[in-house]
Amino acid sequence: MLPEKIREALREKRKMTADEYFQLPETNIHMELIAGELIVYDGQEGNMPAPKDLHQKISSRLFAFFLKYLDTDQLRHAPCDIKLDSGNIVQPDILWVNPQNDQCVLMDDGYLHGAPDFVVEILSPSNTRRDKIDKFYLYEQYGVHEYWIVNPEEQYIEVYIRKENTLHYQGGYKMGQTFVSHILNGATVDLSTLLG
């Protein structure tokens, strides 16, 4: 059950700062603050839907796959707050921070501040626009190096990699195809094993 303070903020559609967001009562529900707007994914009262089983299954598979290539201690799955600036806190489905990275650091408040190196967002029908526009823009602006947008229903992955100041579209890949991931040290990724 969502704490009353959070329900109140949603009812009043009140814009908030990152500081106010962090003072909200603790909850395990997936939430984000985008341009000062609180977004709660619990499927209640006109909120965004909670993740479906397909979403979570793909999330588990991806996470298990990444463990083969990436340092476990630096890998996180949602919900994990990432503060990007005073109006934006995101909870990517999966993220990884390069230990050498100094743009994403764990601060005294116990949260990660700054963009991770690698972000994966798994689409739900209702969040396509947010992942492809609002969060895309934030990840691009704050320096994410590789961004995967995974569509579990349509079974394909869009991969974006950083080139200078922008996230460049590496390509869209469907079942039966493979691609090479820069962030996974050039590993070949087989779509069928991840999304099949």
User: Which stretches of the chain bind another protein, using CB under 8 A?
Assistant: 128-129, 132-133, 136-137, 151, 154-156, 158, 160, 166-169, 171-174
Which among 43, 61, 40 is positioned nearest to 148, based on CA atoms?
61
Q: Give the separation between CA 194 and CA 42, rounded to whole angstroms.
A: 26
Q: Give the separation between CA 57 and CA 45, rounded to whole angstroms.
A: 25
Task: Report the residue number, 23 or 128, with the smaller CB distance to another protein.
Answer: 128
- Name, in order, each residue with C-beta under 8 angstroms of 74's C-beta and a sequence gap of 6 or more: 96, 97, 98, 99
Task: Report the residue number, 8 or 169, with the smaller CB distance to another protein.
Answer: 169
CB of 168 to another protein, least distance (A): 6
CB of 180 to another protein, least distance (A): 15
CB of 154 to another protein, least distance (A): 5
CB of 181 to another protein, least distance (A): 17
What residues form DSSP beta bridges with 78?
Answer: none
